[in-house]
């Protein structure tokens, strides 16, 4: 038996699989960790300086953001919750599914009054979710939210 076949020298199958698994996890974490949007989507600074990570507000649903986090005339996409929140006019907040009704891509931006899908160019009205530009033919479904004390939460 040669030295390279000695079981004490060669890594066991379990060791190799574990190492490969750890590498995969690291790759996934690296891929996710580079997005400020992804980081922002699940963590919300609270007024007391603490952070919420998809926690529940008192008696309400998952806290998404503070109202001040949503630009007036724009919006913000919450990747983890698959929701896009918009503020079409000052103090008016809307939320929609971030899954494009054409073929299911995630919308990627809110600009010039529309929620935009990068896959085939569909654009949805940021106030109503209706289709402004196809190929999508169905509006983005509304997502119920509550706005209370400066916080926007998913309705429970
Ligand atoms: S999946 Fe959004 S435009 Fe096709």
Q: How far is the CA of 80 from the centre of ligand 1 (A)?
A: 19
Report whether residue 131 contacts ligand 1, using a CB cutoff of 6 Å.
no
Write down the pTM of the prediction.
0.64
| Cβ–ligand 1 contact at 106 (below 6 Å) | no
Q: Express each pLDDT in 55-102 by its tens digit.
A: 454 545 789 999 999 999 999 999 999 999 999 999 999 999 999 999
Out of 120, 131, 132, give the residue to mutate to test ligand 1, the one with the largest number of ligand atoms within 8 Å of its CB: 120
Domain locations along the chain: 3-36, 42-154
CATH number listed for the domain at residues 42-154: 2.102.10.10
Burial 111-140 (b: 16+ CB within 10 A, else e): eebbbbbeeeebbbbbeebebbeeebeebb
Average of per-residue pLDDT across 41-47: 36
133 close to ligand 1 (CB < 6 Angstrom): no
């Amino acid at each position: 038996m040669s030295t390279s076949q000695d079981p004490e020298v060669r890594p066991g199958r379990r060791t190799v699989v574990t190492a490969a698994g750890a590498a995969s996890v690291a790759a996934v974490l690296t891929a996710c960790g580079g997005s400020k949007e992804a980081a922002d989507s699940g963590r919300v600074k609270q007024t007391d300086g603490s952070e919420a990570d998809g926690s529940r507000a008192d008696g309400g649903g998952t806290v998404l953001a503070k109202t001040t986090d949503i630009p007036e005339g724009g919006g913000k996409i919450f990747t983890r919750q698959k929701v896009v929140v918009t503020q079409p006019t000052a103090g008016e907040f809307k939320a929609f599914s971030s899954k494009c009704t054409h073929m299911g891509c995630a919308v990627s931006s809110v600009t010039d009054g529309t929620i935009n899908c990068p896959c085939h160019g569909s654009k949805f009205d940021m106030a109503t979710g209706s289709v402004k530009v196809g190929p999508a033919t169905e509006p983005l479904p509304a997502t119920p939210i509550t706005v209370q004390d400066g916080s926007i939460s998913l309705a429970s």
